[in-house]
């Protein structure tokens, strides 16, 4: 049975394995530097549907059903589907789950959903309550823009700190057996809000949460940055990543050489016009199921820490002058280390 | 490891006031200036053509506005105006073509939600405030003018 260590971390002793993954991305992500790590790249970001919301649902559905196929399982074998997205009332997840024959729990953690669903899934597995769990999430640039920002064809300038929502979905199937990467620790983050109001500066708004969760993970486990081959935050972007590095130095944790940000890595900011980098639930989902886990299977990484970060704002809260709260969850994954 | 969160927060606030990249104001002003100017030159050109065609002088403004709004709407429809806006900023927002863009872009975007609650209801989400305060302030100025007549 797992046990609590420190104040926010759970050690997962049963080592739930990530036995199947699948990711699917839009055309812009497919032109980015990580293109070789994606299972499917769409040519049309509508994916043959009539709206961006429906497209996102189809992305998530594809990611979930294909990940189950890759794990050589059927829908009925899965005990829980844990999924979430950015749209109101978790529409993409609910509508994808409508077509799946799997008990469903919807999670909202904004862009932190990949680590959140993987955390909860691992804990369910650790409790012996399921044989197989699917953790999944998605986001879609155009659907998110519609909900949170201005119309697509509106001629306006993007701030240098603005980020580009990733169009993509990623899913992981957790199982008990097999030679696959496995989850060892879960650190659940606290909501941190250092008073950022600018909705075009979300990476910076989320950085305090990332700093707090990473620091707490190190304190709880007694580990340090060099114990990890790579620590990957979800979507802080270029500026948020710099902030996180500098703030962790205050706690005397030097991240140099062991740290990347999925949002910074997924696009080539200059060439693709994405300013501070990628964001969205799909960002850490497709980078984790792509670049991170595929490199683990190849043996390049033995131990990673996935820290998905979320900005917990709503279009209403920012119009009412509220600041932007952030959250970050960390999941430690190992493979072939022993 | 006795670092208080207060220190982190202070450091964060310092970083946030020093390290946030600012847009290149000079370049943006320059691009805005020449694109905005170019749009006005096009408007003048159209005005001159209409004038040659014998349109009376006091109706010219209306004719030019109609053509420019049409151009703005078409460029929005074919997906050019958002790129122009990204490049020129206020240079393409302030002229009447930008006004057309601000109405056509939400109308296009919300077509999926139907013609009543989508297109018609959302059409003025951006232009609405401009109209409300534009018309509102013109009424106030009109009233003042009526009483003061300086």
Intervals of chain A under pLDDT 50: none
Residues of chain B with Cβ-Cβ distance to A246 below 8 Å are 11, 15
> Is residue B92 left, alpha or beta, with left meaning phi > 0 and alpha meaning psi from -120 to 50?
alpha
Ordered by start, the domain boundaries in chain A are 3-175, 182-334
| Residue of chain A minimizing CA distance to B10 | A194
- State the pTM of this model: 0.93
Q: Which two tokens stand for residue A4?
A: 């609590």
Give the chain A residue nearest B6 (alpha carbons).
A194
Residue B78's pLDDT is 93
Q: What is the mean pLDDT of each run of 10 residues along chain B (150 residues)?
A: 82 89 89 95 95 92 95 94 92 92 92 91 91 95 89
Q: Of the CATH numbers 2.30.30.110, 3.30.465.10, 1.25.40.10, 3.40.47.40, which one belongs to the domain with range A3-175?
A: 3.40.47.40
pLDDT at B1: 52
Burial environment of residue B62 by CB neighbours within 10 A (0 to 12, 13 to 18, 19 or more): exposed
Give me B82's structure tokens: 């958002």
Tell me if domain A3-175 and domain A182-334 are identical in fold. yes
What pLDDT sits at residue A150?
A: 83
Q: Is the CB of residue A235 less than 8 Å from the CB of residue A278?
A: yes
- The set of residues, in sequence order, having a beta carbon less than 8 Å from that of B56 and lying 6+ positions away, is none
Contact A277, A267 (CB under 8 A): yes
Structure-derived torsion over alpha carbons of residues A214, A217, A223, A228, reported in degrees to the nearest 10: -50
**Separation in Å, CA of A189 to nearest CA in chain B:** 15
From chain A, pick out residues whose CB is under 8 angstroms from the CB of B7.
250
- CB–CB of A47/A71 below 8 Å? no
Distance CA A120, CA A137 (A): 13
pLDDT at residue B20 in the model:
85
Strands A230-233 and A259-261: parallel
Q: Which residue of B has its CA nearest to A151?
A: B106
Name, in order, each residue with C-beta under 8 angstroms of B47's C-beta and a sequence gap of 6 or more: B60, B63, B64
Nearest residue, CB atoms, B23 vs list A159, A247, A252: A159
Instruction: Supply the DSSP string of A223-269, one letter for each residue.
Output: --GGG-SEEEESS-HHHHHHHHHHHHHHTT---TTSEEEHHHHHS-H
Minimal Cα distance from A247: which residue of B? Answer: B8
In three-state secondary structure terms, B108 is helix
B116-145 residues touching A, CB cutoff 8 A: 126
Cα torsion through A144, A145, A151, A152, rounded to 10: -110
Dist. CA A244–CA A258, nearest whole Å: 13
Say if the Cβ atoms of A154 and B12 lie within 8 Å. Answer: no
pLDDT value of position A122: 97
Is the Cβ pair B106, A154 closer than 8 Å?
Answer: yes
Alpha helix segments (H runs only) across chain B: 5-18, 25-52, 57-77, 81-88, 90-93, 96-109, 121-122, 127-148
Query: In chain A, whose CA is at the least distance from the CA of B123?
Result: A151
- Global ipTM: 0.87
Mutate one of A91, A147, A149, A153 to test the B interface: name it (highest B CB count within 10 A): A153
**Measured CA distances, B104 to B96, B112, B124 (Å):** 12, 14, 9
Say how many Å lie between the first and final Cα of chain A, rounded. 21
Q: Is B85 on the interface with A (CB under 8 A)?
A: yes
Please state the φ and ψ torsions of residue A73, each to the nearest 5 degrees.
Answer: -125, 175
Q: Which fold, A182-334?
A: Peroxisomal Thiolase; Chain A, domain 1 (3.40.47)
Name which of B19, B21, B112 is nearest A50 (Cβ-Cβ): B112
Q: Is B12 within 8 Å of A247 when comparing Cβ atoms?
A: yes
Residue ranges per domain, chain B?
Answer: 25-125
Please report the sign of the dihedral spanned by the C-alpha atoms of residue A22, residue A28, residue A29, residue A34: positive
């Amino acid at each position: 049975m797992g046990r609590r260590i420190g104040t926010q971390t759970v050690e997962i002793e049963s080592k739930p394995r990530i036995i199947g993954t699948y990711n699917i991305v839009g055309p812009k992500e497919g032109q980015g530097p990580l293109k070789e790590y994606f299972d499917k790249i769409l040519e049309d970001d509508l994916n043959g549907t009539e709206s961006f919301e429906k497209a996102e649902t189809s992305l998530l559905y594809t990611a979930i059903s294909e990940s189950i196929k890759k794990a050589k399982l059927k829908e009925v074998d899965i005990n829980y589907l844990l999924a979430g997205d950015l749209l109101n009332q978790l529409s993409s997840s609910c509508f994808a789950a409508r077509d799946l024959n799997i008990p469903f729990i919807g999670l909202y953690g904004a862009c932190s959903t990949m680590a959140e669903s993987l955390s909860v899934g691992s804990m369910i597995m650790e409790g012996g309550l399921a044989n197989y769990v699917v953790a999944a999430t998605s986001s879609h640039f155009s659907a998110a823009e519609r909900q949170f920002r201005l119309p697509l064809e509106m001629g306006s300038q993007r701030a240098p700190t603005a980020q580009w929502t990733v169009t993509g979905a990623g899913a992981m199937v957790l199982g008990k057996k097999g030679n696959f990467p496995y989850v060892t620790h879960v650190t659940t983050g606290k909501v941190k809000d250092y008073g950022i109001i600018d909705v075009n500066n979300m990476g910076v708004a989320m950085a305090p949460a990332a700093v707090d969760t990473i620091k707490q993970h190190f304190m709880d486990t007694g580990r340090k940055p060099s114990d990890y081959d790579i620590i990957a935050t979800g979507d802080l972007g270029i500026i948020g990543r710099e902030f996180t590095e500098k703030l962790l130095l205050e706690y005397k944790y030097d991240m140099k050489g062991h740290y990347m940000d999925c949002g910074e890595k997924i696009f080539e900011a200059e060439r693709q016009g994405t300013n501070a980098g990628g964001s969205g639930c799909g960002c850490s989902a497709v980078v984790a199921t792509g670049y991170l886990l595929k490199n683990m299977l190849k043996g390049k990484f033995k131990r990673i820490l996935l820290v998905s970060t979320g900005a917990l704002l709503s279009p209403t809260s920012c119009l009412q002058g509220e600041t932007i709260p952030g959250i970050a969850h960390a999941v430690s994954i190992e493979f072939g280390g022993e | 490891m006795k670092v208080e969160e207060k220190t982190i927060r202070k450091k964060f606030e310092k970083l946030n006031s020093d390290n946030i990249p600012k847009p290149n104001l000079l370049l943006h002003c320059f691009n805005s200036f020449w694109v905005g100017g170019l749009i006005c030159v096009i408007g003048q050109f159209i005005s001159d053509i209409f004038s040659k065609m014998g349109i009376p002088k006091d109706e010219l403004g209306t004719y030019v506005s109609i053509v420019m709004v049409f151009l703005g709407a078409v460029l929005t429809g074919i997906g050019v105006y958002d790129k122009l806006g990204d490049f020129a900023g206020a240079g393409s927002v302030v002229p009447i073509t930008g006004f057309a863009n601000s109405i056509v872009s939400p109308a296009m975007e919300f077509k999926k939600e139907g013609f009543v609650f989508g297109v018609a209801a959302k059409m003025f989400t951006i232009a609405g405030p401009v109209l409300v305060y534009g018309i509102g302030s013109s009424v106030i100025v009109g009233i003042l003018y009526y009483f003061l007549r300086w």
